[in-house]
Amino acid sequence: MTRHLITSAIPYINGIKHLGNLVGSQLPADLYARYLRGRGQEVLFLCATDEHGTPAELAAAKAGKPVEEYCAEMYETQARIAEGFGLSFDHFGRSSSPQNRKLTQHFAGALADQGLIEEVSQRQIYSPTDGRFLPDRYVEGTCPNCGFEDARGDQCDNCTKQLDPEDLINPRSTISGATDLEMRETKHLFLRQSKLKDELDEWITTKTDWPVLTTSIAKKWLHDGDGLQDRGITRDLSWGVPVKRGDQDWPGMEGKVFYVWFDAPIEYIACAQEWVDAGKGSDWESWWRTDKGADDVRYTQFMGKDNVPFHTLSFPATIKGSGEPWKLVDYIKSFNYLTYDGGQFSTSRGRGVFMDQALEILPADYWRWWLLSHAPETSDAEFTWENFQASVNKDLADVLGNFISRITKFCRSKFGEAVPEAGEYGEAEKALIADITARVARYEALMDAMEVRKSAAELRGIWAAGNEYLQAQAPWTTFKTDPDKAAAQVRLALNLIPLYAVLSAPFIPTAAASMLDAMKVADMPWPDDVPAALGKLAPGHAFEVPEVLFAKITDESREEWAERFAGKRD
């Protein structure tokens, strides 16, 4: 049986992430992991905090704390919020771990042994005002490609073009804002990615099942302009993985650290080591090394489109270039951006909903459902409060919640809190069972293909089928003339609830657990045989009428939240 290794792009440590970050990687990865576990598959789902580089240093300085202390505090915060959203990581690690430090230094040594590391003397931006060299993220300016005025020295977030700090127009220091920058001589290590261009191109060309978004970005980086360029993998920083060649010092590299985009993806592997060292698992190498049993592993990565170049090119270059039998990714699921009410999320302007704020005002399942059912797969998606309210109220309250409330309350009023005795199912019941069976098969196919929005739509259709059946058969009317027939209708409708719970658990795990608890079902396997699953609750099986599963969002609440998260006005 295939084992499934799943990783989500690891979030930067510099602050709490917004809903767009969540839906761009961690949440759909969790959806897929929960689905596969529900199908009885063996899954290792890993994520971590990305703690090195200038984002960490800048955020720590702004917070007035030593960087190590800041990172430790933010790790705990991000881990707590992830738990609040029900993200079911097998391990949530840290890129600052000893395991990642050692493994990063190992890869650097292996790449050097393969002739793929080059020492390059170069001129780098120096700030006399700050008294130091400025690594790429310590420099901002205008993008020469699209004119975006807040492009970073490594990449423009607006057009995703890879940059070097000296490419920027009107560069400035992010530390002091100084513009009196000058070029001075320094030495760094470069990964000779260009030597692997043809091999990477051939590998990516074989990935015909990857999303167009993923392959188009990779191909653009490979072929546009001068093609795939060698990339600096060291920086003049104090916080990070010290530059070593394996366990040996690297002459001339004293005081430097590896570039965060070199060590961060290696954390995926190190995270599995942390998982083992934490006593949660064993034999991490069987997941990551093809000479240790990883041939039966299917590795899937989830990320936003801004992370695609590094995961399709730079990290595979590290893996391939090492000459060692490490597992390469099999499938990359990439996402476009989620915007907020006609603009961008902004921490500095207080614009948009961030993960901690979301959990303050509503349970996680509300957010999980909306984000996944509106996932920005084929294009950017937009969050508006009007759409959020309408979707939650219709899908969760009116369709799913209303179905469960109507049938359990009706059964209690006419037959008591137990599945009633009933005769044979009629044509309407047989038609519903056949319809649900076909829908479940479509749902499974879409989930297997990681079609997030389409899977949500099919699940919504499965919920709606139960409501439509109740509306058409009206057991409350049937009961007046044929109580036995009404009992059969009620029995089938009640059996839909645990089925809905299992199918819905990847999307709304907390509500799904509440549904099973109410129906007093301790163990409900995945419905590989839908007709059999719809007989799970035998006559006489006791249940409880659950509390309101999803309360509707009022106009007053919507307006209050829209005002609260609108941010500073221009």
Cα distances (Å, whole numbers) of residue 375 to 22, 179, 411, 541:
10, 40, 37, 38
Average pLDDT, the chain: 95
Q: Which residues are annotated as a binding site?
A: 143, 146, 156, 159, 347
Q: Which residues are annotated binding-site positions for Zn(2+)?
A: 143, 146, 156, 159
Domain boundaries, the chain: 3-116+196-227+259-335, 384-533
Q: What is the mean pLDDT of residues 76-87?
A: 98
The class of domain 3-116+196-227+259-335 in CATH terms is: alpha beta
CA atoms within 13 A on the CB side of 549: 32
Which residues carry a binding-site annotation for ATP? 347
The superfamily (CATH) of domain 384-533 is Isoleucyl-tRNA Synthetase; Domain 1 (1.10.730.10)
pLDDT digits (tens, 9 = 90+) for 146-164: 999 999 888 898 888 888 8
pLDDT at residue 487 is higher than 80: yes
Interval 401-406 mean pLDDT = 97
Q: Is the pLDDT of residue 455 over 60?
A: yes
The pLDDT tens digits of the residues spanning 277-294 come to 999 999 999 999 999 999
**What is the Cα–Cα distance from 17 to 49, expressed in whole angstroms?**
11
DSSP 8-state class, residue 194: G
Three-state secondary structure readout of 239-275: CCCECEECCEECCCCCCCEECHHHHHHHHHHHHHHHH
Whether 570 has a pLDDT exceeding 60, the answer reads no
Nearest to 121 by CA among 183, 190, 188, 184: 188
Predicted confidence (pLDDT) per residue in 503-557, tens digit: 999 999 999 999 999 999 998 999 999 999 999 999 999 999 999 999 999 999 9
Model confidence, pTM = 0.93
Q: Is 114 left (phi over 0), alpha (psi -120 to 50) or beta?
A: alpha
In whole angstroms, what is the distance from residue 11 CA to residue 20 CA?
Answer: 12
The total number of residues shown for the chain amounts to 570
State how far the Cα of 414 lies from the Cα of 480, in Å rounded to an integer: 11
pLDDT tens by residue, 441-450:
999 999 999 9
pLDDT of residue 160: 81
Q: Which among 464, 529, 538, 451 has a CA at the least distance from the CA of 500?
A: 464
Angle between helices 212-223 and 197-205 (to 10 degrees): 160
Q: What is the pLDDT of residue 425?
A: 94
- Is-same-fold flag (3-116+196-227+259-335; 384-533)? no
Contacts of 130 (CB under 8 A, 6+ apart): 173, 175, 176, 178
Confidence (pLDDT) at 175: 83
pLDDT tens-digit profile of 232-282?
A: 999 988 899 999 999 999 999 998 999 999 999 999 999 999 999 999 999
In this structure, are strands 381-383 and 169-173 parallel, antiparallel, or unpaired? unpaired
Reported confidence tier of residue 569, pLDDT bands at 50, 70, 90 = low
